[in-house]
Structure 1
Amino acid sequence: MQYFEDIEVGARDSFGRYAVTREEVIDFARKYDPQPFHLSDEAAAETYFGRLSASGWHTCAMTMAMIVENLTDRQQAGLGSPGIDELRWLKPVYPGDTLRCETEVLDKRASRSRPEMGSYRSRTTVFNQDDVPVLTFVSTGLIRRRP
């Protein structure tokens, strides 16, 4: 089990592999972000995207799936997150792309009011198969302290 005490400032990690499919892009867009350029090749062709692209929120959801898989594999004593900062969609994500993540721990601190837990901030960058960054954000993770 990985606890607060095991988190090292400056530590980097690389993980995940998520294949983006056309069907999933359209399904997500229909449900949560029904803008024409996420639903139609023809509509997308007349925009900045040039072709059908994933919603930025879908890119966030795919990223979250990779993060949770990584935290589960590491058996981290995670307690959730109070939020993210500095979310940027850097480049479009298209069907056929394959995404992966890199993280760096920026800082950490023990909770003064809740001695059983601490928090850490990390920067996550998501890359496509060409190693082009497509998404970045800073998140705060809550984590148990070693019993």
Structure 2
Amino acid sequence: MTPPEGRSGTGRPAELFFEDLVPGLTVDLGVVTVDGDEMVAFARRFDPQWYHVDPELAEASRHGGLIASGFYTVSLFMRAYVDHLLSRAAADASPGLEELRWLAPVRAGDRLAVRVDVMGARPSTARPGLGTVSLTGTMLRLGPDDRPEQEVLRTRFRGWFAVRPVEADATEAELPDDGATEAELPDGGAPAAEPAAISPPRAEPPG
């Protein structure tokens, strides 16, 4: 059975670990299409301001129609982040956000390209066995030609990820034929081999 630290954010065995999330890495999180019914249902439940839920008032306003709750938009980001990265990575909890900005209105039918960039990574001093990764997430509205038109969301946050487990040798290191003990070997014996790293996708959003 895979131990918890070896499982992804969705509970499956992880293939990516802290060591794979190196600064400069960009991960394409796919494209999401804003569903109008879902957008309004979310707002009615969690953010029932008139420009999110009242089509007539929104149409007559400077908004020119209904716009999504910003918290609905960031929820779309979160789902893409889980589906395309956390479902593969040995993710633990997150210590929080540093920035969350809604840069342009989001509307029903919008197609949003989602990506995350690794800005920094360091071993956690407070939580042994984990590393802290600093990330920037963005959502870009795509035009009819699939080229980015406008950035609609930007967020900076941190996540904890488990370090890659060190697998013990299946058998103890063999002693030399002369019967020397481990203490007599240089450096106390041969170290275990490092497991191979797995590289995550590096594709940029369309455009």
Tell me, yes or no, whether TM beats 0.5. Answer: yes
* Matched residue count: 146
Provide, for residues 31-89 of structure 1, a one-character-per-residue CA deviation record: whole Å limited to 9, x for no partner.
0000011012211124342211110000011111111001245x100002111122110
Native 8 Å contact 2:30 2:114 kept in 1: yes
Q: Could you tell me how far apart the structure 1 residues matched to 2:158 and 2:57 are?
A: 37
1:42 aligns with 56
The 1:44/1:136 distance shift into structure 2, 3 A limit, reads same
Tell me, what secondary structure is at the counterpart of 1:146?
A: coil
> Which letter does structure 2 place at the counterpart of 1:109?
R
- RMSD, matched Cα: 1.3
- CA positional deviation for 1:18: 1.4
TM-score between both structures, scaled by the size of structure 1 = 0.93
* Larger strand proportion of the pair: 1
Q: Of 19, 23, 39, which aligns to 1:9?
A: 23
- CA positional deviation for 1:21: 1.6
Q: Of 118, 129, 138, which aligns to 1:125?
A: 138
Native 8 Å contact 2:137 2:154 kept in 1: yes
Q: Could you tell me how far apart the structure 2 residues matched to 1:66 and 1:47 are?
A: 31
Q: Which runs of 5 or more residues in structure 2 are unaligned?
A: 1-14, 166-207
> Which letter does structure 2 place at the counterpart of 1:37?
Y
The alignment-based identity, stated in percent, is 35
- CA positional deviation for 1:15: 2.0
Q: Could you tell me how far apart the structure 1 residues matched to 2:127 and 2:38 are?
A: 40
Tell me, what secondary structure is at the counterpart of 2:142?
A: coil
**Bigger CA drift: 117-126 or 12-21?**
12-21
Largest Rg, 1 or 2: 2
Written as runs of structure 1 = structure 2, the 5 A alignment for 1:19-58 is: 19-58=33-72
